[in-house]
Amino acid sequence: MYDEEKEKENKEYNERRIIGVFGPQHGTRNDKTIVKYDVNVRAIRNGWYNEVEWNYFSEDGTVETEYGVYLICDNGYLRWPVSICPFKHGESRNTPHGYFSKNLESVRKDVECVFGILKRRWGCLDRGFKHRSIIINRNVFVSCCILHNMMVGEREECVSSVSTQQQVHRGFRNEGEGIWLEGPTDMMIDDEPDIKKKKRLVLEFEERRIKLVHHLNFVRQLRRRSRTQSTV
Phi, psi of 39 (to 5 degrees): -65, -30
**CB neighbours of residue 137 within 10 Å:** 20
pTM for this model (two decimals): 0.74
Task: Please report the pLDDT score of residue 232 as a whole number.
Answer: 57
Give 144-170 pLDDT, tens digit per residue. 999 999 988 776 555 544 444 444 433
Q: What is the pLDDT of residue 78?
A: 93
Contacts of 72 (CB under 8 A, 6+ apart): 84, 85, 104, 107, 108
- Domain locations in the chain as residue ranges: 21-231
Asked if the model's pLDDT at residue 82 lies above 50, the reply is yes
- pLDDT at position 226 over 50: yes
DSSP secondary structure code for residue 48 in this structure: G
Please write the tens of the pLDDT for every residue from 21-51: 998 887 788 899 999 999 999 999 998 899 9
Q: What is the CA 31 to chain-centroid distance, rounded? A: 13
Question: What percent of the chain stands above pLDDT 90?
Answer: 45
Q: Looking at residues 172-191, what average pLDDT do you find?
A: 48
Q: What are 111-144's pLDDT values in tens digits?
A: 889 999 999 999 989 888 888 888 898 999 999 9
* Cβ count near 148 (within 10 Å): 19
Task: Tell me the average pLDDT across 95-108.
Answer: 92
User: What pLDDT was estimated at residue 162?
Assistant: 45
| Per-residue model confidence (pLDDT) at position 163 | 46
Q: Is the pLDDT of residue 94 over 90?
A: no
Closest CA to 151 of 9, 13, 18, 12: 18
125: Cα separation from own chain's centroid: 20
Q: How many helices (DSSP H) and strands (DSSP E) are in the chain?
A: 7, 4
